[in-house]
Amino acid sequence: MKQAKIAELPQQIMDLMELKQHPKNPNKHPDSQIATLRHLIRTHGYYAVSITIQKSTNTIIKGHGVREALLAEGYDKALVSVKDCDDAEALAILIADNKIASDSIIDDISLQNAINELSEMDVPALDFAFDEDDLSELADRILGDNPNESDNSDNDDDWETMSFRVPIECVDIINSEIDRLLDIMDMDKKTPEDVRRGLALEKMAVLSAETPTESLI
């Protein structure tokens, strides 16, 4: 068995004004992102976010936006992780961290389902960094109203978002069948993923309707 090594960095309380912004940080933090970080800090505490600095220079490697949010919230000190590394390694970590973030792909349907599940646990979406505009934008994307997405219908009334649960033992076979139909149908990859999978489900329903009911039981 191969076991991953845990890199435990020493931590210390530091004055936020002593932490230096990395001059080559490619990530620019819009006001909306800082507002989200501030909300996380207020709602869940500082543990929900973090800052890592280079030991020899006090230069931030990870957490530039977090520092801004903490200062905006009135904090003057914070617990930071300290990495003992040279300038080259610090820059490499900074670039890799931004690259990983930029490669992130969010599945809107999965995100909405997670929000719905939390809501069932009496944890409002507003408690974990989403405001009403965020939720509205998410709903618009799922419904296909986002002008940046491909237009899949002349009439939005032709489409309806459906959400349902299936037995855990059926998940793999359902996803496998959807993937198989997607390969056969060979749809344009520019079509949003949720629409493509919906069309595959439509195909499954049509095929099922053409099959005698007795043979499905």
Residue ranges covered by each domain of the chain: 11-102, 108-156, 164-217
For 11-102, give the CATH class: alpha beta
pTM of the full structure: 0.57
What secondary structure letter does DSSP report for 206?
H
Query: Per residue of the chain (217 residues), what is the pLDDT tens digit?
Result: 666 666 688 999 999 999 999 998 888 888 888 888 888 888 877 776 789 999 999 999 999 999 999 999 999 999 999 999 999 999 998 988 888 877 777 777 777 777 777 777 776 666 666 767 777 777 777 766 444 444 444 455 667 777 777 788 788 888 888 888 877 777 666 677 777 788 888 877 777 766 555 554 4
CA separation for the pair 200, 114 (Å, rounded): 23
Contact by Cβ (8 Å): 128, 113: no
Strands 52-54 and 59-62 come out as: antiparallel
**193 Cβ contact list (under 8 Å, min separation 6):** 107
User: Considering only CA atoms, which of 36, 161, 31, 44 is closest in space to residue 108?
Assistant: 161
CA separation for the pair 166, 176 (Å, rounded): 14
Position of tokens 């949003």?
Answer: 192
With the C-alpha atoms ordered 180, 111, 142, 106, is the resulting torsion angle positive or negative?
negative
Q: So what's the pLDDT on residue 149?
A: 42
Residue 135 CA from chain centroid, whole number: 14
Helices 64-72 and 31-44, packing angle to 10 deg: 70
CA separation for the pair 56, 89 (Å, rounded): 12
CA separation for the pair 103, 29 (Å, rounded): 17
User: Considering only CA atoms, which of 139, 130, 87 is closest in space to residue 108?
Assistant: 139
Give the C-alpha distances (Å, rounded to integers) separating 166 from 59, 112, 147, 174, 187: 49, 17, 32, 9, 25
